Amino acid sequence: MDTSATTARTDLGTAATPDASRVHPETTPPVRVALLGHGTVGGSLHRLLVEHREHVRLATGRDVEVRAVLVRDASRSRAGIDTAVTLVTDSLDELVATQPDIVCEAMGGIDPTREYLLTLLDRGIPVVTANKQLVARHGTELFARAAAAGAQLRFEASVCAAVPIVRMLRESLAATRIERLLGILNGTTNYMLSAMTAHGTDYATILAEAQALGYAEPDPTEDVEGIDAAAKLSILAGIAFGTTVSIDDVRTRGISHLTADDVAHAHVLGCRIKLIARGERLDAPGGGSRLALDVTPMLVPEAHPLANVGGATNAVLVDGAPFGRLVVQGAGAGGPETASALAGDLVSVMGSEPSFLTRDPHVAHLEIAPRDSRAERHYVRMLVADRPGVLAAVAGALAAREISIERVLQQRADNGRATLVLTTHPCAPSDLDSALEGVESLECTVLPLLELETPR
Amino acid sequence: MDTSATTARTDLGTAATPDASRVHPETTPPVRVALLGHGTVGGSLHRLLVEHREHVRLATGRDVEVRAVLVRDASRSRAGIDTAVTLVTDSLDELVATQPDIVCEAMGGIDPTREYLLTLLDRGIPVVTANKQLVARHGTELFARAAAAGAQLRFEASVCAAVPIVRMLRESLAATRIERLLGILNGTTNYMLSAMTAHGTDYATILAEAQALGYAEPDPTEDVEGIDAAAKLSILAGIAFGTTVSIDDVRTRGISHLTADDVAHAHVLGCRIKLIARGERLDAPGGGSRLALDVTPMLVPEAHPLANVGGATNAVLVDGAPFGRLVVQGAGAGGPETASALAGDLVSVMGSEPSFLTRDPHVAHLEIAPRDSRAERHYVRMLVADRPGVLAAVAGALAAREISIERVLQQRADNGRATLVLTTHPCAPSDLDSALEGVESLECTVLPLLELETPR
């Protein structure tokens, strides 16, 4: 174990020193992190901090070490925790005794989590949290105590997991005037509505399916009645409009009354049904603004940026001046995704100023890959003489380079010419070039064809 | 003029103090800002800082004052500059003599901008810049000098204007491993390709149109040949993959060789053609990674998140672990939009930690608007008895409340019942409720219908 752990804790609460990126990690003690909770999110964060140690070091010039984990039952064995480095405890006092520089909260719930965070913040220990309910209900109290103690409190992970909407609102758009915020903030209902739209399934069937797949809880009320979305909206609207919002301010309707017929009729009207969380600044009669807040299924025109947000994806659209409109979308749930947001906040609390391109002078420059290192599908359009044997010649030239054809469209053009369009299975670009060189054509356009892959 | 301007400059380069948000603005001297350039972007930023003074104060607890503006010709009259507050000069020395706390660069170009920024950074003055070419070509040098002097250098506005992709990569995703970045980084070509797709227009016609509208330059080479996108990709890929990237590392093809036929064939293949900037981490043969970088028109499947990014909008998609996939889109150009990004960076450099919901204890809580304060279009589905006069009764009930009907669909259902679907013109929700109360129906679903409005 690193003996430098016994040195005084660094003053991380007061943030950035531009010098941090120039400090060499080997000569600087690691940042001591403690986790509250070691379930799906906490465990993912722990793994991330071990596996992405190098990325954290490049971003901050510091190493991070998880020194303590608070769990409900400390006697249960925890796979993947190196107990030589990390204390597993059910006592907050024991956790505090490890002198954490930062605490990451992923245990959820209000009690005893609220008390724990207040205790930590009062001691000036910065906290990053993934706890939506706690921030929605007790955010104002927590922030007052954090400010009084001069400790940072960050909560990106509490809303829409990996989608960086909290940072966008609090930092990128801090100097702007936001007029409206529309969000698809609940993955379960968006998955259900997407499936109802795609397959014409009715509500009860798709709910049972979502429950079987683990996308919906055995008691789905929080999701399907819009309560989860309303809690998230109350957090986001508070930041966006610079005011305090209670979840009770949000008029909330869920999706449980919708039928397959509604979805079908929406389609006839050129729309999709989405559960939309909406905050909007309206003119108040006596001047100034007031705020309309609701969560409700809405008919969304197919060309709207939120209409094509499918599956369990979350998305938020913000309109305002002078930036116009911004839309951000991504995974709104999941252990690793939520852990990613906690880690981003953790790096910000560590306070080293964001670095530029090469994050560390000791990092090797990444080599640029040669053109053929990636096989791709291609689109080829050729203008050829319209005579027998041309398609055979093209197909033969491709076959000679072992490039196989996926689709062919052939069309007569003017003046005895024909347009030949084909797509290939994945092949090296230079093989395709060589193959096409041997074919006589008047015009030839080759474009790569993007695969519709899901993220890795 | 505020006499506090003569006090020593505050040490903004070293960033966040959690106390900043508790400092009362009246008792704290304003932050002195200087602008390099006062064209479309610089002028917009100046206006933003005056008009959104209150938002900046709420976000940071400080006032901002533009004390100096550097322009090429200081003798020209500048509408909207209050010369009692703001010095207009063509001399960097005179600008520096106003002791700026932060300098915002919106003059563009390499010379003399590079020299100016180096001079400012060497003196420890933090800089935020909108200069894409400068960051792409001289970013490494500028950052080295900034780090040596302990001054911040931020550049969100240099890539995709208001889209907060730089912050997302440098801060939110700092602890992650990015595998791939795909972007629509050039608004001009995306506008052109979108119009070619929508109207079947050929390349030459749409280019002339875009030039007439001011969307394309008289010499469109930088845009249509992909050079602008390549410069932006080199900046983003450097951050995303933690390496140095030169614009020469990017294999670049533009859209000038595309025909209306290519667009039509892409449609037959279920795709749209987009100019895609792409950075991808590939496995190197000896282990480790190498980087493939290209800008090229690609066929993008219609269900892909980038396929529906229309008009002059920019978008960036990032795949990686453990966050999965994030997509962000917004205005990629424009004076006010770029100014918005500069202002976000400026607020971050001012270093006050992001605040929570109520940004200031003195701010009034925004009143919640009553339900009827916003008229909306509605979708109404009713299951009614299939007998003569039912539609007339519904239409009559709505007319009695002065709600006008936009569309009606009527369909026979089972058991002597009919489904009646209608959409209304904008009306108050409670008027609609009252109208429908008077109609006998077995089932009734009312949903708001989102307008497909453009952002304000």
Provide the chain A residues 120-149 that lie in CB contact (below 8 A) with chain B.
139-140, 143, 146-147
Q: Does B117 share its domain with B133?
A: yes
On whether both B176 and B321 belong to a single domain, the answer is yes
Residues 230-249 of A with CB under 8 A from B: 235, 238-239, 241-245, 249
Q: DSSP secondary structure string, A387-422? A: STTHHHHHHHHHHHTTPPEEEEEEEE-STTEEEEEE
pLDDT at B199: 93
| Partner A contacted by B305 (CB < 8 A) | yes
CB atoms A176 and B456 under 8 Å: no
Mark whether A201 and A145 lie in a shared domain. Answer: no
Domain edge (last residue) among A158, A180, A200: A158
- Does A455 fall in a domain? no
The label of the residue with tokens 């109208």 reads B435
d(CA A139, CA A133): 9
Please report which confidence band the pLDDT of residue B353 belongs to, taking 50, 70 and 90 as the band edges. Answer: low
Confidence band of A361 (pLDDT split at 50, 70, 90) = very low
Q: Based on the fold, state whether residues B7 and B36 are members of the same structural domain.
A: yes
With both helix axes pointing from N to C terminus, report the angle between B40-51 and B53-60 in degrees, rounded to the nearest 10.
Answer: 70
Tell me the pLDDT tens digit for each residue of A100-146: 999 999 999 999 999 999 999 999 999 999 999 999 999 989 988 99
Q: Which residue has the tokens 């043969």?
A: B285
Q: Among A25-29, B191-195, B284-288, where is mean pLDDT lowest?
A: A25-29
Of B174, B182, B262, the CB nearest to A347: B174
Amino acid at site A207: L
CB contact under 8 A, A174 and B407: no
A390: contact with B, CB 8 A cutoff:
no
The distance between the two most distant Cα atoms of chain A, rounded to a whole number of Å, is: 87
The percentage of chain A sitting over the pLDDT mark of 70, rounded to a whole number, equals: 91
Question: Sign of the CA dihedral A241, A135, A193, A329?
Answer: positive
User: B374 at the A interface (CB within 8 A)?
Assistant: yes
B454 located within any domain: no
- Say whether residue B271 is in contact with chain A using an 8 A CB cutoff: yes
A305-318 tens-digit pLDDT: 999 999 999 999 99
Report the pLDDT value the prediction gives residue A211, as an integer from 0 to 100: 95
Where residue B453 falls among pLDDT bands split at 50, 70, 90? confident
Task: Report whether pLDDT(A6) > 70.
Answer: no
Are residues B347 and B56 in contact, defined by beta-carbon separation less than 8 angstroms?
yes
Choose the closest CB to B268 out of A17, A340, A409. Answer: A409
Q: Kindly determine whether residue B367 and residue A284, on different chains, have CB atoms separated by under 8 Å.
A: yes
Average pLDDT (A345-373) is 72
In angstroms, the CA A7 to CA A259 distance is: 63
**Residue at which a domain ends, from B306, B333, B360:** B333
Place of tokens 């930690």: B353
Do A292 and B407 count as a contact with CB atoms less than 8 A apart?
no
Please choose, from the candidates B125, B62, B44, the residue with its C-alpha nearest in 3D space to the C-alpha of residue B92: B125
CB–CB of A55 and B15 under 8 A? no
Q: pLDDT for A221-256, tens place per residue?
A: 999 999 999 999 999 999 999 888 889 999 999 999
Indicate whether A12 pLDDT > 50.
no
List the CATH number of the domain containing A85: 3.40.50.720
**What is the band of B6 on the pLDDT scale with cuts at 50, 70, 90?**
very low
Same structural domain, A169 and A265: yes
pLDDT at B134: 95
Residue A339 within any structural domain of the chain: no
> What's the whole-number mean pLDDT along residues B128-137?
95
Helices and strands counted in chain A (H then E): 14, 17
Residue A346 lies in a domain: no
pLDDT at B163 over 90: yes
Residues A225 and A284 in one domain: yes
Q: Do B55 and A176 touch (CB under 8 A)?
A: yes
Q: How many CB pairs under 8 A join A and B?
A: 433
Whether A350 maps to a domain, the answer reads: no
Q: Which residues contact B236 (CB under 8 A, 6 or more apart)?
A: B159, B165, B166, B169, B181, B183, B185, B277, B279, B316
Q: Kindly indicate the confidence band of residue A364, based on its pLDDT and cuts at 50, 70 and 90.
A: low
Please state, rounded to an integer, the average pLDDT across all residues of chain B: 89
Order of strands across the sheet that contains A87-89: A87-89, A64-70, A31-36, A102-105, A127-129, A153-154
Q: With an 8 Å Cβ cutoff, is B170 touching chain A?
A: yes
Residues of A in contact with B444 (CB under 8 A): none
**Together in a domain, B148 and B171:** no
Q: What is the mean pLDDT of chain A?
A: 89
Same domain, A152 and A219: no
Which residues on A lie below 8 Å from B426 (Cβ)?
none
Q: Which residues of A touch B194 (CB under 8 A)?
A: none
User: Rounded to 5 degrees, what are φ and ψ at A415?
Assistant: 55, 45
What pLDDT digit, counting tens, does each position of B388-407 carry? Answer: 888 899 999 999 999 999 99
Q: Is the pLDDT of residue A28 over 70?
A: yes
For B270, the token pair is 């279920």
Q: Which residue has the higher pLDDT, A441 or B208?
A: B208
Quote the Cα angle for B415-B417-B420, to 5°: 155
Q: How far apart are CA B354 and CA B305, in angstroms?
A: 31
**pLDDT of the residue at A372:** 92
B15·A353 Cβ contact <8 A? yes
Asked if A141 and A40 sit in the same domain, the reply is yes
| Residue given tokens 């769990």 in the structure block | A71
Residue B290's φ and ψ, nearest 5 degrees, are -135, 170
Q: Which residues of B touch A265 (CB under 8 A)?
A: 379, 381, 409, 419, 421
Annotated catalytic residue within B38, B57, B232, B417 = B232
Report which secondary-structure segment, H or E, holds B228: helix B227-241
Out of A170, A337, A419, closest to residue B323 by CB:
A337
Residue B381 covered by a domain: yes
Q: Which residue of B has its CA nearest to A295?
A: B448
Clarify whether residues B151 and B178 are in a common domain.
Answer: no
Residue B177 in any domain: the answer is yes
The answer to whether the CB atoms of B356 and A327 lie below 8 A apart is: no
* CA B63 to centroid of chain Cα atoms: 24
Range of the domain at B213: 165-333
Q: Is the CB of residue A439 less than 8 Å from the CB of residue A432? A: no
Q: Measured between CB atoms, does B284 come within 8 Å of chain A? A: yes
pLDDT in tens, B42-69: 999 999 999 998 888 877 888 999 999 9
A130 and A170 inside one domain: no
**A373, B290: Cβ pair inside 8 Å?**
yes
**pLDDT band at residue A352 under the 50/70/90 scheme:** low
DSSP single-letter state for residue A307 = T
Q: Confirm whether A353 is domain-assigned.
A: no
Do A366 and B305 lie within an 8 Å CB cutoff?
no
What integer is the mean pLDDT of A37-59?
91
Burial B292-329 (b: 16+ CB within 10 A, else e): bbbbbbbbbbeebbbbbbbebbbbbbbbbbbbbbbbbb
Both tokens of residue B45? 């930023």
- How far apart are the CA of A453 and the nearest CA of chain B, in angstroms? 9
Of A59, A175, A259, the CB nearest to B55: A175
Q: Which of residues 80-119 of A touch B (CB under 8 A)?
A: none
pTM, full prediction: 0.91
* Residues of A carrying an active site annotation: 232
pLDDT at B354 over 80: no
Cα-Cα end-to-end distance for chain A: 35
Whether residue A259 sits in one domain with residue A137:
no
Q: Do B16 and A244 touch (CB under 8 A)?
A: no
Partner residue facing A52 (CB), from B15, B147, B177: B177
Residue of chain B whose alpha carbon sits nearest to that of A423: B269
Where does the pLDDT of residue B352 fall: very low under 50, low under 70, confident under 90, or very high at 90 and above? Answer: low
Q: Which of these three, A158, A174, A206, is where a domain ends?
A: A158
pLDDT score of A451: 84
DSSP for B162-202, written as a single string: T--HHHIIIIITTTSEEEEEEEE--HHHHHHHHHHHHH---
Q: How many domains does chain B have?
A: 3
Q: In this complex, do A171 and B347 lie within 8 Å of one another by their Cβ atoms?
A: yes
Residue among B175, B243, B344 minimizing CB distance to A366: B243
SS3 call for A35: strand
| Position B364 confidence tier, pLDDT thresholds 50, 70, 90 | low
Closest-CA residue in chain A for B258? Answer: A445
**Predicted confidence (pLDDT) at residue B417 exceeds the cutoff of 70:** yes
Looking up residue B201, the CATH number of its domain turns out to be 3.30.360.10
